Structure 1
């Protein structure tokens, strides 16, 4: 009973850490119009900066898993939270002098430290919650999404009233506070892994991992573009006021709360592959609804519900399936590669989306994102059928 309570406490703290890790990167989208005006830059420039930060966020994941094996997972996550939080204070300088270079420096440092989180946390969950890995992944995602769901609206309120740098600093301070709580809770119970650590080269030798990696690249290519430009798309192409665009983005995240739990629970029952096919189809329908339904409010509502549930439901299913195809001592390295393909390579779509939006409009950019979603759907049909050995 005491062990179960400890596991529940640890999963709750991981959910909070997951929340703040993502919160740092959903502050900018609802404030993008203010930031671009303040810094005097175009969508392609802000997209290029976001691409650099996201690319580093992905590359850093290659380090995160092995670092967790070396110094301990709790210490790695604490470092991630504390230093990504401190990095947000550089935004005060960027806002004061109106410098895109300082803004880029702050975002890149945030991304570098934050990048350590995902492979470490997912490796920890895949080892600690035997018999219900997908469900635990889902609950971890729910915890993260519950916190993130309020971030765009809060960020917009803080940015509109006190300046956009204050929005970054507020969430950065929360990261620092959670880091102190995290190390106190986990510090005495963490055990170092004494088994031989797997390497990135070893992980790449896993045959079944390759189709998962390609599938994950396709997901990253539409995810990062939607993440950055959805509120701006609503403002410019669907004539939403900025506060309503921020609220719509919040509703997407809110739909992801039940999506995470549904995806994890269902994957444990019917298998991850079936869940991933269904969620890939849901994402495709959502994007084409946004683009093609002539009654804008109906198309936006369909997108919010379908994309929010489908996109977030895929995460625990895919995370657990990735763990099932890798051995215990290779898991950190595998998750590092896994998140690099999604957040790193996938981030290229932010620059490309920004460029296409500047040249041809945001509709054209979102058609490109829908094409990536279609590719992901086709790839989902080729994923391995692998279940947890209970």
Structure 2
């Protein structure tokens, strides 16, 4: 990598790690907020959904803003907004203030992925290497966010912990302001890397219509079901683990008083998820995306149902299931990312990924409210059956795609998909 590549890599890695640092720390706070504000799981789930929904819903406008105002400027605004949101949470004294802080975080975080990926695609010559390190940085943030939050909550009030979590965002903001690089350094050598001209309204409508008249329409629904599964499980699993008999029966030495084993099991599954994402990425070179998605959705459905009996077992069984679950939860992500590339034409690839994040993080956030209602009014088993249902739906659509459903869409798309498979 040259100096420009390294500078962009450092800047985007910091941004990607921090987006997920904040994102995955929120479920740890959910456990504390339930006790602090004495609200129902359903109400708090709706509040948390207000934060997570804009994270995905803002992906499309985020891409347009990145083209219009520049990727570096937008990422800096993202870092500043996310840090400010967590300072708002630190000052919150009511569930309404929590909602404001989470909403601010969701809006700020939503612009990162389209801006960060666009910056890499237009500014970096060695894109493959930088994309790899960019993904690793995101995984580090996914694991460290809840780990640091859970550890600090042992000795500090949650308001102070929220403020401390905001500090790295400020350091990254200062680093980003001083970072120097050419955001279009690779454009001259690669005409497909992108351009600085934003889509017009008519082009946006035309390209969107073409996408959803192709097999991408099925991929979009598949990704949405994966998002419903992902967000529902990761949001409520810390709270569910805290309430299990195995956690209450565990007697820790006096020097470990205050440590919550449930939080570290949750962090552990996120760490295992790094291995899952790596293995999934390697397998995308060998297994057609639709076939891989169908198989992995089947595994995820079984794992969700397996939580029903295992939650009444001992700590070792729970930890083992969480580890396996974490591996497969993240192993599926490279497959749907590859499916987008296989079932879309190159000239709409950026728009395709914008819609992908809308389905994954935006529409997927609906499961927070739905699953919160189920947890509050029904049994724990009903929650896991609901989550398994999302995987079954995604798996059936993936199997249909693998069986040739794409043949009923645009012929050129079908040819491209067949060639890549």
- With normalisation by structure 2, the TM-score equals 0.81
Q: Residues 154 and 141 (structure 1 numbering): CA distance in 2 closer, same or farther, change over 3 Å?
A: same
SS of structure 2 residue aligned to 1:41 = coil
In the TM superposition, residue 250 of structure 1 has moved relative to its aligned partner by 0.3
Residue in 1 that maps onto 2:108: 113
Residue in 1 that maps onto 2:26: 28
Residue in 2 that maps onto 1:165: 159
Q: 2:274 aligns with which of 257, 266, 284?
A: 257
Residue in 2 that maps onto 1:370: 388
Instruction: Choose 1 or 2 for highest CA Rg.
Output: 2
Structure-to-structure mapping, 1:114-153, within 5 angstroms: 114-125=109-120, 139-153=133-147
Query: How many Å separate the matches in 2 of 1:266 and 1:129?
Result: 25
Larger deviation: 31-40 or 251-260?
31-40
Structure-to-structure mapping, 1:1-390, within 5 angstroms: 2-3=1-2, 6-7=4-5, 10-94=8-92, 98-125=93-120, 139-185=133-179, 187-190=181-184, 193-194=195-196, 197=199, 199=204, 201-206=206-211, 207-240=214-247, 243-293=260-310, 295-297=313-315, 299-328=317-346, 330-383=348-401, 386=417
Larger deviation: 322-331 or 171-180?
322-331
SS of structure 2 residue aligned to 1:161 = coil
Q: How many residues are aligned here?
A: 383
In the TM superposition, residue 213 of structure 1 has moved relative to its aligned partner by 0.8
**Is the 8 Å Cα contact of residues 356 and 365 (structure 1) preserved in structure 2?**
yes
**Is the 8 Å Cα contact of residues 120 and 127 (structure 2) preserved in structure 1?**
no
Q: Residues 303 and 183 (structure 1 numbering): CA distance in 2 closer, same or farther, change over 3 Å?
A: farther
Query: How many Å separate the matches in 2 of 1:278 and 1:137?
Result: 26
Unaligned runs of 5+ in 2: 186-193, 249-258, 407-415
Query: How many Å separate the matches in 2 of 1:238 and 1:131?
Result: 51
SS of structure 2 residue aligned to 1:295 = coil
SS of structure 2 residue aligned to 1:199 = helix
RMSD value over aligned CA atoms? 2.9
**Is the 8 Å Cα contact of residues 284 and 373 (structure 1) preserved in structure 2?**
yes
In the TM superposition, residue 239 of structure 1 has moved relative to its aligned partner by 3.8
SS of structure 1 residue aligned to 2:24 = coil
Larger deviation: 174-183 or 43-52?
174-183
